[in-house]
Amino acid sequence: MASEKPQVMVTCTAPVNIAVIKYWGKRDEALILPINSSLSVTLHQDQLKTTTTAAISKDFTEDRIWLNGREEDVRQPRLQACLREIRRLAQKQRTAGDGDALPLSLSYKVHVASVNNFPTAAGLASSAAGYACLAYTLAQVYGVEGDLSEVARRGSGSACRSLYGGFVEWQMGKQADGTDSIAQQVAPEWHWPQLRVLVLVVSAEKKLTGSTVGMQTSVETSALLKFRAEAVVPARMTEMTRYIKERDFHGFAQLTMKDSNQFHATCLDTFPPISYLNDTSRRIIQLVHRFNAHHGQTKVAYTFDAGPNAVIFTLDDTVAEFVAAVRHSFPPTANGDKFLKGLQVIPSLLSDELKAALAMEPTPGGVQYIIATQVGPGPQVLDDPHVHLLGPDGLPQRVA
């Protein structure tokens, strides 16, 4: 246990991002370099975020990390890659004479505590938020400046997209060393104020096939994945960027759904096949298409990452009606008052015509709850010392 207060302690938060053009498959496992570029939407931290505190002290005898209150093995390779990379950059900056003012030794050990305010490993991009937050917090502690894409990417590929708010592209890059495989903002968080996001939590269970293993198998066995990466994604990246810049919801929504469907098709084309969607996921897809057909236009879009939970994109004037449609199709079995979390949504009544158009036998409890959110900013430094997850002794003091 530390005998004195840590020399430096910093707490930061980082957001979840949801890809609308999916990343699946690596060309380099060690450096985590993707076989195709991807594009994502950063969700607001008021609803979904990782909070991380990092501290360094001359009294710490080893690097240690706690995740959601439980100590994890700090020797985990991706964790080590992030730590190594940050320390390397800090050393490089010092040697260049940029960091002379830093009153700390790079040999000091670090303690890290991290918590998510949403289910972990359930296909809600927890590793992206977690590693983005780790990279950003460590950079503050060690005084590292500049782009952190490489550091975050070493932890989890899509984490580099969580380093920015708004709409973000991760360029696959061409270089073997990955120096050009970086994230860049396409449009800031305030660019499309009407856009809303609904996370339909179908299951908070840990998924059976982890993303890392799933991707590896897909790269080795799926011909469709190779075709997708080479022939489909480049044009879709250009298209999606245009739809976002022009705030063209119809184009954005249709392409988001098509890309999600194709990603899951590559999972089925993997051998043995991988299925991240369950029956409720498929019913949500059906609900969205029937809702849109009833309105005669695309008012709602779904996307699914490597898990059964749906992320829905819509505009602010459609939220209330779609939430009512979800509640009608998947009535809550308990805690009906807690069914909707996040942004306030004034419930709307469903018309008999829409109920008839949905033509779905209700599945009680199929959707556990909905998180209503919007596009949000990138990582933040929290200045209030009361929010630190580590105490003065460098050990966890609370679980947020």
| 76-85 per-position pLDDT tens digit | 999 999 999 9
User: What is the residue range of 100's domain?
Assistant: 8-189+380-387
For 58-96, b/e burial (b = at least 16 CB within 10 A) is ebbeebbbbbbeeeeebeeebbebbbebbbebbeebeee
Q: Are residues 184 and 218 in the same domain?
A: no
Q: Are residues 131 and 234 in the same domain?
A: no
Q: Are residues 243 and 218 in the same domain?
A: yes
Nearest to residue 74, comparing CAs of 114, 104, 107, 31? 114
Q: Are residues 72 and 167 in the same domain?
A: yes
Residue 392 lies in a domain: no
- If you average pLDDT over residues 366-385, what whole number do you get? 95
The secondary structure element, H or E, covering residue 395 is none
Q: Are residues 47 and 175 in the same domain?
A: yes
Judge residue 386's burial from the number of C-beta atoms within 10 Å of its C-beta, 0-12 exposed, 13-18 middle, 19 or more buried: exposed
Least confident span in 82-96, 282-296, 383-397: 82-96
pTM of the model: 0.94
CA-CA distances (angstroms) from residue 274 to 23, 75, 268, 315, 337?
A: 16, 29, 5, 32, 35
Higher pLDDT: 279 or 207? It is 279
The CATH code of the domain that includes 342 is 3.30.70.890
The secondary structure element, H or E, covering residue 364 is none
- Split at pLDDT 50, 70, 90, the class of 104 is low
The pLDDT assigned to 121 comes to 46
Q: Tell me how far apart the alpha carbons of residues 371 and 367 are, in angstroms, rounded to a whole number.
A: 11
Q: How many helices and strands in the chain, by DSSP H and E?
A: 10, 17
Residue 305 lies in a domain: yes
Q: Are residues 126 and 248 in the same domain?
A: no
Residue 96 lies in a domain: yes
For the record, the structure tokens of 173 come out as 């890059």
Q: Are residues 166 and 62 in the same domain?
A: yes
Beta-carbon neighbour count of residue 319 at 10 Å?
21
Q: Are residues 118 and 67 in the same domain?
A: yes
Residue 395 lies in a domain: no
**Could you report the per-residue pLDDT of 21-77, keeping only the tens digit for each?**
999 999 999 999 999 999 999 999 999 999 999 999 999 999 999 999 999 999 999
Sheet holding 49-57, edge to edge: 70-72, 64-67, 109-116, 49-57, 8-15, 380-382
Asked whether 372 and 341 are in contact (CB, 8 A), the reply is yes
Residue 280 lies in a domain: yes
| Phi and psi angles of residue 302, each rounded to the nearest 5 degrees, phi first | -115, 155
**Could you report the per-residue pLDDT of 145-202, keeping only the tens digit for each?**
999 999 999 999 999 999 999 999 999 999 999 999 999 999 999 999 999 999 999 9
Task: Note if the bond before 362 is cis, omega within 30 degrees.
Answer: no
The pLDDT assigned to 97 comes to 67
The CATH code of the domain that includes 35 is 3.30.230.10
- The yes-or-no verdict on residue 399 having pLDDT over 70 is no
Domain count, the chain: 2
Residue 177 lies in a domain: yes
Q: Are residues 226 and 134 in the same domain?
A: no
Q: Are residues 203 and 282 in the same domain?
A: yes
Q: Tell me how far apart the alpha carbons of residues 382 and 365 are, in angstroms, rounded to a whole number.
A: 37
Q: Tell me how far apart the alpha carbons of residues 242 and 34 are, in angstroms, rounded to a whole number.
A: 22
Beta-carbon neighbour count of residue 380 at 10 Å?
18
Q: Are residues 26 and 167 in the same domain?
A: yes
- The yes-or-no verdict on residue 7 having pLDDT over 80 is yes
CA dihedral 33, 161, 90, 115 (to 10 degrees): -110
Q: Are residues 50 and 136 in the same domain?
A: yes
Beta-carbon neighbour count of residue 51 at 10 Å?
23
Residue 111 lies in a domain: yes
Residue 400 lies in a domain: no
Longest dimension (CA), the chain: 70
